């Protein structure tokens, strides 16, 4: 009977925002696994007692990136970790977008402004400022050139906290066609979804946002699938990924581009795609049974 940890965050005192966790736990147990949900930062967890630790919804890590990456590396020393610790380290810093671009993957053009860099912001088009370590549109906002002073204050706040900012043109295709999320599990396309624009004009960078507005099932086009697969093929050191989510938007040419590549704790949206649950369970059990973990 394989022992599987689904790694999540401690939401207390609020209820967990992971709607998939209860159904995934129940399905794994029904399939014969000894499955538990564990908080990643719970010092009392014996990770070595599990055959597999699956990072599922560690949705507070972006506030504590160094601590989280250190946990992943330690966890991977005593059990199989999915995804691998090296992938976690690479993917928790959105400067990976530059690596994808260098590999020829179509991406949203991105510049980076580290603490100490001048506030070199666009003066002729709408743009987005967000941190290289973030989730759920934390510290993200959309600006016009006329909002330069507000955007500079945004940068100053992030830099004061030691965060590097990324600056991207606002992709107007989001307003028309939304953002598509292609989910992969066990090396195969699992399902896809589409959501509407998260960053509406005038929303403050430190305001709470709805992370997945207007979420609906989506059938990916051949072009979208090709770009997603190219992004996964460009991940350094060709790791064996248990799961991945590739977020795509349409560029000015109407062709899909990678907005983000989520390899750490992507929301799977199983509540929207319940037919995908058996395939996820099958892939998790197969990974738990694979030889080679410490």
Q: What is the pLDDT of residues 25-58, one digit of tens each?
A: 999 999 999 999 999 999 999 999 999 999 999 9
| Mean pLDDT computed over 195-217 | 77
Is the pLDDT assigned to residue 207 strictly greater than 80?
Answer: no
pLDDT score, position 286: 96
Considering the chain, what percentage of its residues have pLDDT values greater than 70?
Answer: 96
CATH H superfamily, domain 172-267: ATP-grasp fold, B domain (3.30.470.20)
- Alpha helices by DSSP H, listed for 162-264, are 173-177, 222-233
pLDDT score, position 176: 85
pLDDT-wise least confident of 58-62, 75-79, 133-137, 273-277: 133-137
Is the pLDDT assigned to residue 181 strictly greater than 90?
Answer: yes
pLDDT score, position 135: 66
**Domain boundaries along the sequence of the chain:** 3-92+275-289, 111-169, 172-267
Considering the chain, what percentage of its residues have pLDDT values greater than 90?
Answer: 77
| Mean pLDDT computed over 230-240 | 90
Nearest C-alpha neighbor of 24 from the set 285, 234, 220, 227: 285
192 or 294, which is more confident?
192
Average pLDDT, the chain: 92
| Structure confidence by residue, pLDDT tens digits, 124-165 | 999 999 998 876 667 889 999 999 999 999 999 999 988 899
Q: Do domains 3-92+275-289 and 172-267 have the same CATH topology?
A: no
What beta strand segments (E) does the chain contain? 3-8, 34-39, 52-57, 80-82, 111-113, 127-131, 141-143, 165-169, 179-185, 188-195, 216-217, 243-250, 256-262
CATH architecture assignment, domain 3-92+275-289: 3-Layer(aba) Sandwich (3.40)
Q: How many CA atoms lie within 13 A of 256 on its CB side?
A: 22
Distance (Å, rounded) from C-alpha 108 to C-alpha 106?
7
Distance (Å, rounded) from C-alpha 235 to C-alpha 287?
20
pLDDT score, position 279: 97
Is the pLDDT assigned to residue 293 strictly greater than 60?
Answer: no
Distant-in-sequence, close-in-space partners of 275: CB < 8 Å, separation ≥ 6:
none
């Amino acid at each position: 009977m394989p022992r599987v940890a689904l790694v999540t965050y401690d939401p207390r005192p609020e209820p967990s925002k992971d709607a998939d966790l209860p159904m995934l736990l129940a399905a794994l147990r029904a399939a014969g696994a000894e499955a538990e949900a564990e908080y990643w930062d719970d010092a009392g967890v014996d990770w070595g007692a599990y055959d597999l630790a699956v990072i599922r919804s560690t949705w507070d890590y972006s506030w504590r990136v160094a601590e989280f990456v250190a946990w992943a590396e330690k966890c991977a020393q005593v059990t199989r970790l999915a995804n691998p610790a090296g992938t976690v380290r690479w993917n928790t810093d959105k400067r990976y977008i530059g690596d994808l671009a260098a590999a020829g993957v179509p991406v949203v053009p991105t510049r980076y402004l580290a603490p100490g860099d001048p506030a070199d912001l666009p003066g002729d088009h709408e743009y987005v400022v967000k941190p290289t370590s973030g989730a759920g549109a934390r510290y993200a906002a959309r600006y016009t050139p006329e909002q330069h002073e507000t955007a500079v204050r945004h940068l100053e706040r992030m830099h004061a906290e030691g965060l590097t900012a990324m600056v991207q043109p606002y992709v107007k295709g989001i307003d028309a066609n939304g953002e598509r999320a292609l989910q992969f599990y066990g090396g195969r396309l699992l399902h896809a979804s589409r959501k509407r624009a998260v960053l509406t004009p005038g929303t403050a960078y430190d305001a709470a946002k709805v992370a997945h507005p207007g979420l609906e099932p989506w059938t990916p086009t051949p072009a979208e699938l090709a770009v997603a697969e190219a992004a996964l093929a460009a991940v350094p050191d060709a790791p064996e990924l248990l799961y991945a989510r590739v977020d795509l938007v349409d560029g000015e040419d109407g062709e899909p581009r990678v907005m983000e590549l989520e390899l750490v704790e992507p929301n799977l949206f199983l509540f929207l795609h319940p037919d995908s649950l058996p395939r996820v369970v099958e892939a998790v059990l197969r990974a738990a049974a694979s030889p080679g973990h410490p």
